[in-house]
Chains A and B, each alone.
Chain A
Amino acid sequence: MLPIIDSIQVAPGTVSPGGSFTVTVVAHDPDSKSYTLTGNAIDSLGGKTAFSGQVNISDPLTFELTDPSGAGFVITPRANQPGVFDCKAP
Chain B
Amino acid sequence: MQLAKDELEQGGVAIVIVSFAAPERLSYYQRVHQWPFTLLADPSREAYGYFGLTRLPWYRVFSMPTLKLYLHLLRRGRKMENYGRDDYFQAGGDFLLDRDGRVLFSYHSHDPADRPPVSRLLDEIKRARRERNARKSQGDLS
Asked if A pairs with B, the answer is no
Residues of chain A touching chain B, judged by Cβ–Cβ distance below 8 Å, are none
